[in-house]
Amino acid sequence: MNTQRVWFAFFIVLALTLNFGFFIGEIDNPLHHNSYELFLTLVVSLIATVLKVGDRSHMGAVLLATSLVADLQLIMAATIWGYSSEVTGHVSPAVMASIVSLAGGAMLANLTSVVLLLSETIQLKR
């Protein structure tokens, strides 16, 4: 068993599960979506991205790309949230809906990562 592979899979799956936890709930209800969860999702997703860097295979390139997409979507969601709560003063249901839908997009990207990881694992013959 390779420790590096464990951490690699751990962060990729954790990014997906945290992302799912944040995403689930009524789309425009701020009570259903925890800001700490979004923060953790973003941090884990960033770490997963760094771990994927440097793998020169074709699979590595696709994994890195999906991870970058997830980062981008999550950063956009966090920025909108921060802006609306700090600058305009309150988070309206419409803003909440767009934050959650961005996080939903990120979840799709994370899901793709996990699917790729699984398919590669299944192909490995021992």
Partner 1 sequence: MLEGDQYWAHSKSEPIWLLLVQLRSPLIALIVTYSISILGLVLIPGETDLGSPYYLSFLDAFYAVSYTAMTVGFGEIPYPFNQSQRLWMLLVMYSTVIAWLYAIGSILSVFSDPAFHRIRSQNRSISQVRSHNEPFWILCGFDDTGFQLIRFLDQAKIRCVVVDEDPERIDCARLINLSYEPAVFLSDPSEPQILVDSGVSRPHCCGVLALTGRDQINLMIATNARVLSPRLSVYSRSNTDFSTRNLRSFGTEVVIDPNRSIVHRLVQMIRRPNTYALHNELIDPDFNQLSVHQLSDLGHWIICASGRFSELVVEAFVREGIPLCLVSREPPEDPSVCDWVEGVGTEAITLREAGILNATGVIAGTTDDGDNLSILLTALEEKPALFSVARRNRSSSELVFRHGQFNEILREDRVIAQEMFARIQTPLLNQFLGHLEAMPDSLVFDIIEKMSHRRSVEQSELDHFALVLTAAQAPGVVELLQKEATIKLGDLLIDPLREQPLLPAICLLIARLNADVIPIPGDELDLVLGDQLLLWGEAEALNRIKFFIGRPDLFEANIKESDPLL
**82 CB contacts (<8 Å, ≥6 apart)?**
none
Which of the residues 11 through 50 are near partner 1 (CB under 8 A)? 35-36, 39-40, 43, 46-47, 50
Which of the residues 85 through 114 are near partner 1 (CB under 8 A)? 85-86
CA separation for the pair 62, 65 (Å, rounded): 5
Kindly report the backbone phi and psi dihedral angles of residue 55, in degrees, each rounded to the nearest multiple of 5, phi listed first: -80, 115
Per rule CB under 8 A, is residue 10 in the interface with partner 1? no
- Using CB under 8 A, list all residues that contact partner 1: 35-36, 39-40, 43, 46-47, 50-51, 53-54, 56-57, 78, 82, 85-86
